[in-house]
Structure 1
């Protein structure tokens, strides 16, 4: 095969009369190598024209490429900002690891999410959101939707809330609904904000024994003692105390001192009344239908 044939493939169909039935294809598409070729520029001082300083670490980069890839960098490197006329641009309070991954993505449009742990992916998600790289942000969000588990769901949920990722937030809530008891026992639950705890346990679809929810919030209060009063309000509003057994009320809830004793006594009184009504009903039914021997 000649050099011309190797670089330009032509497909021709010939009928018996010698006429071509298909038009000759003259399109060249070698974009499969473009990503790797451009990736060579990443971090190469010989080809760079700007230095990005991230937490004191200097990273060689290419202004035109970054500006072409994201409007965020276009304004930073070519806009009216002070940094645009300098050879170095200092980016403060930025995660170096995550920023390097972001740069790699901007240069190559490729990233293997399977190579990173959940906490690393959340860092990358955060910086993608910060620099408005929404394709990367959404790809990571979709990855988490597929890989949610009891250990990471609360952390992912909190992050999704922070970045207003509605679809990922809903996926986390649905997963938590299906694994409520397990989620309540995780370390991630203890790291949630009071607003996030409320959003989780207030859902009708979040089904777990009330005593389990109480114990989880009790543990949360131990991790966030300054938020005790806010947690008490959550318990008052969303916990169905009447569904907790008298034994658990006396052995677990009462000693915690999260809820006032008069509230618990009122619940116990109502439980007694309900039991008494049931007993009376059963007695009346027995009297109407006496057992014959």
Structure 2
């Protein structure tokens, strides 16, 4: 396994996750067909008492969250599709190099890291942990009556738990390439086109999300990464997080300017022109 990675750059991308349809994060293990959302704290005690499909007592604590592993799986799958499809999943060196792998005695640590996603509203998170507001305030339920595809008969109703709260996650990519940065923007665009779903019961209308860029930071080390130079004009230098010796920067931390964060997409009523940063980012596409 490679033990040392020379850091030429680091991309930090903070994304807001906005549910377009109800977000069902985890299927419950109980026998009453109730779906249990993942929470940040666990207990050996039974957390939920269910009677006839309804929650009569809820002892879950912490906050709802989306695991980073769920998001990493989503992004990896989208990268696989953009790199030629599922058939190349195991052999594509670009996917292995970015997401890492472990095969027998060979392994490679990935360069991309996706954090667990928590409520985007920091004030809301504080209130939850101070027990001002209970978790059940952010959980809704929906009942669905499935049809048996073989008999055509109605099955017992299923009751799902879901949330429509917004979440915030952070993606870190060490030594990001131009191609990888472009693909990340494609994924954000695809989410705005209604092509991205996460969680469970996606076939029942759950899990459609849209990404919004909260912050994009590019840390450039020792003047590397020539692909970034044409993009630099759309960033603002963060002096407090940059490292400078004399007149030279050992690490120049650049933050994408606010007016270039939005990714507009076409719709039936109008065609929106990409902003200048997007045009510059994809100028080298062949």
TM-score, normalised to structure 2's length? Answer: 0.23
Greater Rg by CA: 1
Q: Which has the higher strand share?
A: 2
Task: Return the structure number with greater relative CO, CA threshold 8 A, min gap 6.
Answer: 2
TM-score, normalised to structure 1's length? Answer: 0.22
